[in-house]
Amino acid sequence: MSSEQRGPLHCVELNTGRNLSGILNVGPDEMSAKLYSYGDGFSITSDDVVCLKTEELDIASLHNIVLMGPRSLSRSTGHVCQTHKVIANTTVIGPDAWNALDTVKVAYFTLEGSMNILKNQTLFGKFLKSRFGSRSNREILKIDAAGKTYKVSYAASYNYNIRGKTKAWPIFSIEYKASSFLKQYFSDLMCISRFISFCLGEEVNPGNIRISKISERQMLRKLRNGQYHGEHKVHYIWPKRELDHSYGAAAAGSPFAVWDDSDLSAMRDGLLAWIARESEWNTAYALMSESLALRGEMSGPRMINACNWFSNLPNARIQKAIKLDHIELVAQAGGEIARQLGYSSDVIQRIKGKIKEIRTETSRDFYARIVQEVLKRFGVGILREGVVEDIINGFRQRNLVAHGAVDEFSDDDFKSYSRSVRAIEAVSFLMMAKELPISDEGLSRIRSNRFVIDYKLAF
């Protein structure tokens, strides 16, 4: 969902120089503006960033737009009206326009449910006792990686009547040594969001997103001088999910948490490793999030997504079962026997080609090897018996689903289908965690992770 409902708001556009009037709406289902001209027509292209000044004196910048129209209306009286509807994928609202070439220096955002794994007893206690407005005792962790500084800090609301903090939450920030365009900053933001989703076993999307064109240090300097006019808020449309979130229970299975001081370094190391491999693992990260989003249903899309997640794990690849030079010798020998039996050269080449195709391990051997890697890392008992058969059945069912060959199940078929989906998801999750620097406490907790428990409790 959009992080905040804005509108409908009266506005004027700033693109044509004519201050054409319009209505802006930033809602949970659509971010759009209708623009009107009661005189000459006007044009907007899909490459434009449409900038609007609202009745609240903010500037809204609509990015990645789709145009509907124009729609023209005229009367015999000579009155005319031309209407353009602009639908945006991204809307940035702030004290000035955010144009296509403007860059992000620092971004702030929140992640729902993250306090369940980020409430450190020592740090949070100091934060609650600190003076309101103080910047000390706020920071939970800080990481410098790839030209960016990632920070997680505590923030709170304050009640002057009781002279105390009433609600606290973690706030995430990414500050760039250079600058980043909107598309790249969004990728970095989603990388952190998916790490928290991975920990909680819950799909978590960023909220309360704010970005700035200047660094945090420059912001503080301008703030002291009374020259700072505020950050820009960023709005997106997130898919609607009919899920009941239980972050507290989910946190019990998190491989990373900072409840105790001893957990802080493990969380820092784990997040650093997650960020470092993001370019290679990005597709797997996204498919994991989609699995979490689909956990409220047992459907064809969930099976297809689970299999795609498994297939896109960089550390789960089919290996060669026979050495290449040995395969060549066997192929030559097979071809020679075929020649002696009187087959044509075309048939001989086909035989040699088929022999070369068997140089990789079988699917069963591949799945069994992956399961053994999981058991070696996380211990016997992390998966139920029969997991290899469940995975094989899952990929077979995936092919049927993809070709529309499955319409409805008997009770037994549904149980098998459900178990296979959960088996593939559990193994994919554990393979994703396998190479991360998880502490002994985290390895113990991971046995209670939602992916693991869901498979163990499957029919």
> What is d(CA 151, CA 355) in angstroms, rounded to the nearest whole number?
55
pLDDT in tens, the chain (459 residues): 344 667 799 999 998 888 899 999 998 889 999 999 988 888 888 788 999 999 999 999 999 999 887 888 888 888 889 999 999 999 999 999 999 999 999 999 999 999 999 999 888 888 888 776 566 678 899 999 989 999 999 988 877 666 667 788 999 999 999 889 998 899 999 999 999 999 998 889 999 999 999 998 998 888 888 888 889 999 998 887 765 667 677 788 999 999 988 889 999 999 999 999 999 999 999 999 999 999 888 989 999 999 999 999 999 998 876 777 777 787 888 888 888 888 898 888 888 777 766 767 889 999 999 999 999 999 999 999 999 999 999 999 998 887 776 656 666 788 999 999 999 999 999 999 999 999 999 999 999 999 999 999 987
DSSP assignment of 315-369 equals: T----BSS-HHHHHHHHHHHHHHHHHTT--HHHHHHHHHHHHHTTBPPHHHHHHH
* The pair of three-digit structure tokens given for residue 181, joined into one six-digit string: 């365009």
Q: Per-domain residue ranges for the chain?
A: 6-91, 104-275, 277-317+361-456, 324-357
The whole-model pTM stands at 0.87
Q: The dihedral of CA 369, 372, 376, 377: what is its sign?
A: positive
Within 13 Å of residue 350, how many CA atoms lie on the same side as its CB?
A: 5
Instruction: Indicate the helix (H) or strand (E) that contains 385.
Output: none
